[in-house]
Amino acid sequence: MSLPTQVSIVDVGPRDGLQNEKQLVSVDDKARLVHLLHEAGLKEIEVTSFVSPKWVPQMGDNAAVMAAIERRADVRYSVLTPNMKGFEAALATAPQEIVVFAAASEAFSQKNINCSIAESIERFAPVVQAAHAAGMRVRAALSCCLGCPYQGEVTPDEVERVVKLLKDVGVDHMSIADTIGVGTPRRTQAVMERALRHFPLHEVSGHFHDTYGQSLANIYASLELGIHRFDASVSGLGGCPYAKGATGNVATEDVVFMLDGLGIETGIELDKLVDAGVFISGVLGRSPVSRVARALLAKRG
Ligand code: HMG
Ligand code: MG
């Protein structure tokens, strides 16, 4: 079976990772993390979210972080925008891509963005239009595609229904998220196949959390389908404030190590990525969660 020869990775650590930390991280440290990710060769970075600071105080410095980044022309910076208010604030900071985020489960939609799935789609329609008018790409992130912390099982039919609604409002890209990390490889493929009915291969990606240790297996299963875009989070930072017990995203270091071993090109330099992880883990007062980072650091001595 032939796997893709190249994979692109969006590092979502600055957003998905840091949104979930108890302690507030300074604007300077967030900007430094983004710069270290540039150094490591990341070409797509999810920087922050324009959500309510009452809901997610960790992202309350969104505009300041966007202003503090020394941008590179070959890097795409993305931000989350749940509604027009968030979009307008984001627009002023000139990201290249915005992310609208919905859920495949009704219960999670209510907890995360305080509205039903249908209402969320209605809110996204003008956001997608305005983003396209401003020349920005729109990625959609769909939570709970493999299980929901409130509802439990989520079927591929439920996922496909929302994928189609997002397609109908015109999003460019579909990111299938396993918010609580319960997915296993064949289930993951079944769900990915539903997304691929509505979006081309290069516009479908996987966003896996490693809560049950399945994320690399799920990435491999996605590669088998030809999927070649994944979200990952440096040092395995992350979780979701509205998904209790959800641990970090799959660590970018772990994904790059596996892809290097498979001979798949990412453009990312593992050693420099480990440095980025060491930096942000130091800010947070812990060691990197990534197994690969730990192993390489032990070798460094
Ligand atoms: P709401 O309370 O229903 O909104 O929140 P509202 O329209 O009634 O407004 C209430 C207040 O919020 C008002 O302020 C608004 O101005 C303000 P007040 O009058 O009370 O002072 N407000 C905003 N402020 C800043 N930016 C905005 C904004 N919108 C309204 N954009 C809302 C609705 C969506 C805003 C809220 O529920 C929210 O912010 N939720 C946060 C959700 C979130 O960030 N979750 C984590 C990210 S998703 C994720 O991690 C999953 C993902 O990684 C994939 C995966 O793994 O599953 C993507
Ligand atoms: Mg996430």
pLDDT, residue 243, reads 66
Residue 43 belongs to a domain:
yes
Model pLDDT for residues 181-217, shown as the tens digit of each residue = 999 999 999 999 999 999 999 999 999 999 999 999 9
Q: Whose CA is nearest to atom 35 of ligand 1?
A: 52
The reported pLDDT for the residue numbered 14 is 97
How far apart (Å, rounded) are the C-alpha atoms in residues 49 and 99?
A: 9
The pLDDT-based confidence of 248 (bands split at 50, 70, 90) is confident
pLDDT band at 232 (very low <50, low <70, confident <90, very high): very high
- pLDDT, tens digit, 9 for 90 and up, residues 6-43: 999 999 999 999 998 888 999 999 999 999 999 999 99
What is the distance between the alpha carbons of residues 54 and 242, in angstroms, rounded to a whole number? 14
Count of structural domains, the chain:
1
Distance 165 CA to ligand 1 centre (A): 21
Ligand nearest to the CA of 104: 1
Output the CA 179–ligand 2 centroid distance in Å: 6
Q: Whose CA is nearest to atom 13 of ligand 1?
A: 52
User: Is residue 41 a part of any domain in this protein?
Assistant: yes
- Cα separation, 187 vs 178, in Å, equals 11
Decide if 33 is inside a domain. Answer: yes
SS3 label, residue 178? strand
Q: What CATH number has the domain bearing residue 16? A: 3.20.20.70
CB contact at 8 A, 14 and 34: yes
Per DSSP, helices labelled H in the chain are 27-40, 62-68, 84-91, 106-113, 117-133, 156-168, 185-196, 215-224, 252-261, 270-284, 291-300
Q: Tokens 């291969």 label which residue?
A: 201
Please indicate, yes or no, if residue 3 is contained in any of the structural domains. Answer: no
Q: Are 81 and 90 in contact (CB under 8 A)?
A: yes
- Cα of 233 from ligand 2 centre, angstroms: 9
> What is the radius of gyration, based on Cα positions, of the chain?
17
Residue 2 in domain: no
Q: Above 80 in pLDDT, residue 104?
A: yes
Q: Is residue 259 part of a domain?
A: yes
Q: Which residues line ligand 1 (CB under 6 A)?
A: 16, 19, 49-52, 55-56, 80, 82-83, 85-86, 101, 112-114, 141, 143, 177, 179, 207, 209, 240-242
Q: Is residue 161 part of a domain?
A: yes
- The secondary element (H helix, E strand) that includes residue 10 is strand 8-11
Note if 240 is an active site residue: yes
Count other Cβ atoms within 10 Å, centred on residue 184.
Answer: 14
Range of the domain at 55: 8-300
Quote the pLDDT of residue 253.
98
The average confidence (pLDDT) of the chain is 96
Per-residue pLDDT reduced to its tens digit, 40-99: 999 999 999 999 999 999 999 999 999 999 999 999 999 999 999 999 999 999 999 999
* Ligand nearest, relative to CA of residue 240: 1
Output the pLDDT for position 276: 98
